[in-house]
Structures are given as structure tokens and as C-alpha cells.
Amino acid sequence: MARAPIYLDCQATTPLAPEARAAMLPWLEGPGSDGFGNPHSPHRMGRLAAAAVEQARDEIAALCPPGGRIVFTGSATEALNLAIRGTAPAGDARPVAVSTIEHAAVLDTVAALGVPTVTVPVGGDGIAKADAPLGAGTRLVALMQVNNEIGTIQPCDALFDRARAMGALTLCDAVQAAGKLAPVQADMIALSAHKMYGPKGIGALWVRDGVQLAPLITGGGQEHGLRSGTLSPALCAGFGAAARLAKERMEEDCAHVERLWAAALPLFSQWSVNGSVSARWRGNLNLRKKGLDAGRLISELRRIAFSAGSACASGSGRPSHVLKAIGLDPASAKGSIRIGFGRYTTAEELSEAAAAINAAADAQG
Ligand code: PLP
């Protein structure tokens, strides 16, 4: 029998928590059940489904600051689009400020708007400069809480304080941080279920009360007119259960990841860590080795799921703008890998993977 894969790519996606799966199942039932109602229908079945959606909304909101509401979307990418485009009235040409290491969902969306972009640089440690100029008349400042490629924790509070003082809106991409770290104070926060052991195909934008948003998708007027389309009670319930679990287990999950990190570092003593070690989500071990071809390494080690640090994590095959931003030359970026571990990773899996990765890397000479 083939041996089970070793999954070390938790920044790309996380396995569905059994609790999230269990919460989804009643809403995937068919004829003869009362689990398939449209949550926007007024009859009993519809109201049951709507109650599940609202419970999930509350569970996800509990990962965010008080004083706002959750708008469900199809992904965090859609949530970030809603935040960036939905706060820009037609013809608004005011600049938007973003760090150089934001996800493509932010960088490409701002670029597509065609407004001037103020770039907030990062240091060699992978941390944005919180004192960088934000530009005159900037309407929106976006900064991620944890970087998806190198795991560095960003100075959102410091940058957003300055943004607020100049009257700009603030947007936090918390996809890699929600359920792991305390929330930051922002006007909008983007979340994704599948990065916190929930299902794929659902995200959310948390919006502070009073922030004016225009919809990107019009139609039946669901989500208070902000995102038309029938919600999936199964996806919402799975997301909600995942969020509740993440909140309940935050300390335990964090301690587990710290233990794995401490165990992993000596296993990779021949490698250098990309990005700050201290201001970091320690479930992200982005490493580089001189002369290595990371792409080849990944194709040789088919039982282990991990990432090439040089390829943008979006899977587009674009070279990593993050490794470039922290000053790595193309050869160092090509020799970089990302090992991502989390709640369900064991120390045994990590050491088995490290032995295989090191042997294959050494064989490259
Ligand atoms: N932002 C960050 C930091 C991410 O890591 C990702 C996914 O890789 C996204 C946004 C997009 O999330 P989704 O897959 O829900 O569109």
C-alpha cells in the first residue's frame, strides 16, 4: 500500500477539520431531509438554513474586532476585491498605499484600478517599514497581517494608526493570521476559510460599522445588497465551525506550532531562514540553500507536499515578488523552499520529510 503523503504546505491550504466537516454535512443532505433549503426562503427549511448561516457569521465575527459585520464572499480574493474596489467611487483617482509583499489579490487589484500606488517598502527581514511615507491624499492603506510566503508578522497597528491620522481607510489581509493571532484594528479585514481548516470556496470581508461599500456583484440583494447570490449553508457552517475551533484552540495550536518549529530548525541546520525569525508565524519555515534547484527538489519528492519559495504562492508560476523584495538574487530565490506546518502536523512527519529533503538536496551537489 502506498504510504500516506506528508502535507507541509499549510500556507497554500489546510486540511478540513473533522469538526468543520461534521458541521457541513447536515446542509448537504438531499430529498427527504430539511437540510437543503435556500437560506433566503421564508419557509421553515429556509429559516433553518438561515439560522445556520447567522450562527456561522457570529462565529467568524468573533475572530475580528467588535463593531463590524461579516460579508460572506467566495474567497478572500473576492473579499479583497470588494474592499479595494467597493470603497472607490467611480472616478476616484486618489492613491492607494500597499506594501511590496502583499498578495496578488491586493497588488493586481490596485494595479487594475489604475490609480497611483504608494509602495510601502520592506526590509531584508521581510517586515514593512511602518514609518514609510504614505503619500498625500491616499484614500486606502492595505497591509497584510502575516505574509503567506515567508510568514513575517507585519506592523499593521503602527501603519494603520498613521493611516487613520491622515483620514485614510485601512484594509488588513488577515488570511494567514486569522484564528492564529489576535485581530488588528482596521476598517476592513479579509479572511479565508480554507486557510483555517475550513472548506474551500468561501471567504469573508469584515467591515467596520459606518464604512461605506458598493457591491461588485448585483442581483438578488443578499448580504444586505453587498454580495448578491445564494449563500451555501454548508460552506458557511463549515467556515463558522472552523473559526470557532480556531478561537477555542488558539493557544494550543500556537504552542504546537512553536514545538514543531523548535524541532525543525536543527533538522535544517544547513539552510538559511528567509525573513525574520522572531516576528514570524512559526508554522512557516521558508529556507534557502546555495546552488539548489527547488523546483527539481519538489518534483523528486513526490510524497511530500511543500512549495518552491521562488514561485509566487498563487500558483501562477510568477517569480516571487516577496523574495525579491527582501533582497534575494534570482539564484537564492530559486534555491528557496517553503515548509508549512500546522495543527495536524506531527514531529515524526517533519523529521521524516527533513531527512528526505536534505538527502535530495545533498544529491543535487
Ligand atoms: N491573501 C493571502 C495572504 C493568501 O495567502 C491568500 C491565499 O493564498 C489569499 C489572500 C487569497 O485567498 P483565497 O484563496 O481565499 O482567495
CA terminus-to-terminus distance, the chain: 32
pLDDT tens for 125-158 read 999 999 999 999 999 999 999 999 999 999 999 9
Rounded to the nearest angstrom, the distance between the alpha carbon of 280 and the centre of ligand 1 is 18
For residue 77 and ligand 1, the question of a CB distance below 6 A is answered with: yes
In angstroms, what CA-CA distances link 46 with 42, 93, 232?
Answer: 6, 43, 12
Sheet holding 336-340, edge to edge: 272-273, 284-288, 336-340, 307-308
In angstroms, what CA-CA distances link 230 with 14, 34, 219, 332?
Answer: 25, 17, 10, 46
Please work out, in degrees rounded to the nearest 5, the angle formed at the alpha carbon of residue 77 by the alpha carbons of 60 and 191: 20
Rounded to the nearest angstrom, the distance between the alpha carbon of 91 and the centre of ligand 1 is 28
pLDDT tens for 235-254 read 999 999 999 999 999 999 99
Atom number of ligand 1 nearest to Cα 77: 16
32 vs 51: CA distance, rounded Å: 20
For residue 146 and ligand 1, the question of a CB distance below 6 A is answered with: no
For residue 126 and ligand 1, the question of a CB distance below 6 A is answered with: no
pLDDT tens for 169-226 read 999 999 999 999 999 999 999 999 999 999 999 999 999 999 999 999 999 999 999 9
Task: Please give the single-letter amino acid code of residue 132.
Answer: A
- What is the pTM (predicted TM-score) of this model? 0.97
For residue 222 and ligand 1, the question of a CB distance below 6 A is answered with: no
The yes-or-no answer on residue 312 being catalytic is: yes
Q: What is the pLDDT of residue 1?
A: 65
pLDDT tens for 9-23 read 999 999 999 999 999
Element (H, E) at 163: helix 156-165
